[in-house]
A = this chain, B = another copy of it.
Amino acid sequence: MKQSIGAKPLAFPTPAWVVGTYDMNGKPNAMTAAWGGICCSNPPCISVSLRKATYTYAGIMENRAFTISIPSEAYVKQADHFGITSGRDEDKFEATCLTPVRSELVPAPYVGEFPVVLECKLLHTLEIGLHTLFVGEILDIKADESVLDENGNPNIEKIRPVIYNPGSRDYYGVGCSLGKAFSIGKEC
């Protein structure tokens, strides 16, 4: 029997990503975001939603660009830190001892220590309510060699990305393989 639990921003899974921007003085900043996802295959695009009050919102509007850095489990504390403080008050890269790397494709920094990063050019801005949805075209993905498989594709078991659970506001890792997509459903 299903129970109504009300109108809430809950879904499972949601990601734990870090959005990188420069501020108006060129200082690198980054913040954690869980409201986002891939939103188009061609051109490849990703969406991320931010509150207007964030310093990152201003950074995206200033530069029309952002990066998404995908943390591995090993950096879950640092990823969380990027979501606690504001870049107005603190240099978060300095606080976390992580390295802001300047993208060669867009005016935005990414987290050098995270295994996978997406370099995005702002394509669309959609005002929804408390959050603004930004659509970024993925101009390139860069990944550590250590997380690539033999065909040069990023391997989720090596990346070990972080899942955000908005139900109880905690983080999870990725578990076991459940089978091949576009395949196991043929048996139904």
| A interface, CB within 8 angstroms of B | 1-17, 34-47, 49, 68, 70, 73, 76-84, 95-97, 116-118, 123-124, 126, 128-131, 133, 135, 137-145, 148-149, 152-156, 159, 161-188
Contacts and interface: CB of A to CB of B under 8 A. Distances in A.
Instruction: Determine which residue in A80, A124, A166, A188 has the highest number of CB atoms from chain B within 10 A of its CB, and name it.
Output: A188
B181 A164 contact: yes
Nearest to A95: B188
B185 A83 contact: yes
Contact of A3 (B4, B123, B128, B143): B143
Given A84-B186, A173-B176, 20 more contacts: A1-B144, A1-B145, A3-B148, A6-B140, A9-B44, A10-B38, A11-B68, A14-B38, A38-B166, A41-B129, A43-B128, A47-B133, A76-B179, A80-B183, A126-B135, A149-B168, A153-B168, A156-B165, A169-B182, A175-B176
Contact of A81 (B15, B45, B164, B186): B186
A170 B81 CA distance: 31
Number of copies: 2
A7 B44 contact: yes
